[in-house]
């Protein structure tokens, strides 16, 4: 029985909480939020103990914590939790800046605890199937992640909120680091950028392009991968994957295969693998170092986008 807690009861925090309460071998010791109404709602819905401050919850025995507070609070919150030698999963992105991310990675090593970053799209069945299908002949990856403006996100722009998913996915799918990265962005709503185009070349030669914005009236999450031997399309919302054979110049045709997938909630798989790693004493699937690489890429993107 692992004893866990959740900090932050916004939309994602409640998803973490619900999944923990559905796990037979997990005890939710308590949850934290400064909003009294949020605490009352989850206490009534899940029957968990609530706290108004993190310090109160940290007085209890805990094996692991989910950090689901706004990105600007990840650094302070993560350090405080790991100071108590508690394992932690921090929602993406790891922190606001690479320097803050470095602090968190160093603290985890210093205290000998696991630090995982919640880049949840890696646990999407469609992404897992794409990873299985691609070989070493990838030419390019194009990702579209768009949707309407989310009022709940106030402290970062679309690059750090939505784009962080795809920066991590490109590293994951190519197994390579960013060699060069370019970006342009614009702001039409609020004070942060809400539209961005990111283009990159990986160390292994794969080309990548990310289109992300908060100005599209519908939610779109799609990946297109061109390989020498095939072409792969994935819809991350419907969890559908199609594999196209190489185009035949002889009969001017290609074949299409649809890969059936069992729909699965990515957050549940993410938390299950996090807790399994803790039980087995094995590395977490997405490390603090992985999250830090995303933050370093942010710096390169914003340096370019501001030119």
- The whole-angstrom separation of Cα 15 and Cα 152 is 15
Distance, in Å, from the CA atom of 307 to the CA atom of 303, rounded to the nearest integer, reads 7
pLDDT at 59: 96
Sheet arrangement for strand 115-118: 50-51, 26-32, 2-7, 64-67, 87-91, 115-118
For 99, counting Cβ atoms within 10 Å of its Cβ (0-12 exposed, 13-18 middle, 19+ buried), the class is exposed
Q: Which CATH number fits domain 121-264+296-305: 3.40.50.740, 3.20.20.80, 3.30.360.10, 3.40.50.12280?
A: 3.30.360.10
The band of 2, judged by pLDDT with boundaries at 50, 70 and 90, is very high
Structure confidence by residue, pLDDT tens digits, 107-150:
999 999 999 999 999 999 999 999 999 999 999 999 999 999 88
What are the residues whose beta carbons fall under 8 Å from the beta carbon of 89, sequence distance 6 or more?
Answer: 64, 65, 66, 67, 116, 117, 118, 270, 271, 274, 284
The per-residue pLDDT for 305 is: 55
pLDDT given for residue 155 in this prediction: 75
Closest to 236 measured CA to CA, from 158, 131, 159:
131
Element at 162 (helix H, strand E): none
* Domain 2-119+268-285: assigned CATH number: 3.40.50.720
Backbone φ and ψ of 213, nearest 5°: -160, 165
Can you read off the two tokens belonging to residue 118? 């919640």
Average pLDDT over the chain, rounded to an integer: 94
pLDDT for the residue numbered 46: 96
**Are the folds of 2-119+268-285 and 121-264+296-305 the same?**
no
State pLDDT tens for residues 57-81: 999 999 999 999 999 999 999 999 9
- What pTM did the predictor assign? 0.92
Q: CA distances (Å), 193 to each of 87, 146, 187, 269, in order?
A: 33, 13, 4, 31
* Structural domain boundaries in the chain: 2-119+268-285, 121-264+296-305
CB-based contacts of 92, cutoff 8 Å, min separation 6: 117, 118, 119, 120, 164, 165, 168, 291, 294
Q: Which of 142, 151, 223 is nearest to 194 (CA)?
A: 151
pLDDT of 75: 98
What per-residue confidence (pLDDT) applies to 306?
53
């Amino acid at each position: 029985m692992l004893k866990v807690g959740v900090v932050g009861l916004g939309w994602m925090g409640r998803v973490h909480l619900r999944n923990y309460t559905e796990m037979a071998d997990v005890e939710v010791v308590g949850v934290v939020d400064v909003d009294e109404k949020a605490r009352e709602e989850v206490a009534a819905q899940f029957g968990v103990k609530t706290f108004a401050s993190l310090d109160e919850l940290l007085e209890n025995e805990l094996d692991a914590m989910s950090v689901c507070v706004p990105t600007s609070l990840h650094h302070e919150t993560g350090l405080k939790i790991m100071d108590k030698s508690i394992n932690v999963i921090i929602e993406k992105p790891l922190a606001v800046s690479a320097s803050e991310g470095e602090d968190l990675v160093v603290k985890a090593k210093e205290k000998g605890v696991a630090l995982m970053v919640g880049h949840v799209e890696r646990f999407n069945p469609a992404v897992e199937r794409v990873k299985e299908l691609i070989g070493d002949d990838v030419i390019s990856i194009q990702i579209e992640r768009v949707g309407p403006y989310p009022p709940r996100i106030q402290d970062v722009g679309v690059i750090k909120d939505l784009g962080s998913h795809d920066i991590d996915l490109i590293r994951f799918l190519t197994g390579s680091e960013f060699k060069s990265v370019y970006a342009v962005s614009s702001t039409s709503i609020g004070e942060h950028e809400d539209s961005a185009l990111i283009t990159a070349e990986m160390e292994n030669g794969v080309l990548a392009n990310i289109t992300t914005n908060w100005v599209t009236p519908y939610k779109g999450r799609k990946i297109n991968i061109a390989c020498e031997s095939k072409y792969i399309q994935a819809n991350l919302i419907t969890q559908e994957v199609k594999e196209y054979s190489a185009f035949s110049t002889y009969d001017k045709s290609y074949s299409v295969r649809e890969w059936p997938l069992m729909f699965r909630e990515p957050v549940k798989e993410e938390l299950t693998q996090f807790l399994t790693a803790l039980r087995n004493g094995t590395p977490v699937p997405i490390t603090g170092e992985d999250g830090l690489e995303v933050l370093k890429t942010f710096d390169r993107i914003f340096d370019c986008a501001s030119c």
